[in-house]
A and B are shown apart, each in its own frame.
Chain A
Amino acid sequence: MDFKPCVNINKELDIVGARQLGRTRAKELGFGTVDQARIATAISELARNIYLYAGKGKVCFEVIDQLDKQGLKVVASDEGPGIRDISQVMQDGYSTSGGLGAGLPGVKRLMDHFEIHSEWGKGTEIQAIKWVR
């Protein structure tokens, strides 16, 4: 499969670009409409966080092929300020920007697997996987 692996996030419109590419990838992999919406929404949240809090970064896509299942992995990474207290930002309603604080806890619920790595002062990498059902 011809695969454009990453979308750079530098400006606000890149958020739309990333989620649209993510939806296209999800469709190609055979995800249903609801899962496509889940994946696109999760990408939108991660890309906006990069744009808002780190200024720039990227969202990359990877197909995971396992014997018994196939999935789409989304990796959002930036070299922004990092996150000091991960358990805090994973709480519903926690926001430092006047947002709903729904983004990160939402992504965790929308996707099947969620991992967050962040180092204060160095940057953040979030990996999320959705399996094709």
Chain B
Amino acid sequence: MRIPILKLHNYLLISIQIDLDDQSAIEFQEDLLNKIHKSGATGVVIDLTSVDIIDSFIAKVLGDVVTMSDLMGARVVLTGIQPAVAMTLIELGIHMQDVQTALDLEQGLIKLRQELEG
């Protein structure tokens, strides 16, 4: 299943609404990098409000997406991580220290604007 990527000015917005299987996660990674390349977007918000599980594989894909986007000149903010997901991630031993986060999509956009537009 393909995850839609919306463009808003210089930003790309993604809301993950499905239970991510490995294949969809990898496709999403590729789609997003292509879209960053084509659009020249400088910021990306990935909203995880509807995601109720992040296991080690999905965490790795998300972490890689952030690093790769960064290499391409786009800052990524993850938003809406559920409390239960945050707790299981820590228990898995995954800390995502270099990843920017915000409470919701709106806060994520504000964070990007503050950082990118000073």
Contacts and interface: CB of A to CB of B under 8 A. Distances in A.
Interface string B9-52: 00000000001011100000000000000000000000000001
B55 to A, nearest CB: 4
Interface stretch (A29-37, A55-63, A81-89, A112-120): A29-37
Nearest to A107: B92
A123 interface: no
A106 B57 contact: no
Contacts, number: 77
Nearest to B89: A41
A44 B88 CA distance: 12
Interface string A16-27: 100110010000
Given A16-B21, A33-B84, A99 B57 contact: yes
B110 to A, nearest CB: 28
A48 B55 contact: yes
B52 A37 contact: yes
Interface in B39-72: 52-57, 59-60
A75 interface: no
Interface of A: 12-13, 15-16, 19-20, 23, 33-34, 36-38, 40-41, 44-45, 48, 92, 99-100, 102-103, 105-106, 109-110
Interface in B73-118: 82-85, 87-88, 91-94
Interface of B: 19, 21-23, 52-57, 59-60, 82-85, 87-88, 91-94
Nearest to B54: A41
B53 A41 contact: yes
A-B pairs, top 7 by smallest CB distance, nearest first, are A106-B92, A37-B84, A44-B55, A102-B56, A34-B84, A109-B91, A41-B88
Given A12-B21, A15-B22, A33-B84, A99 B91 contact: no
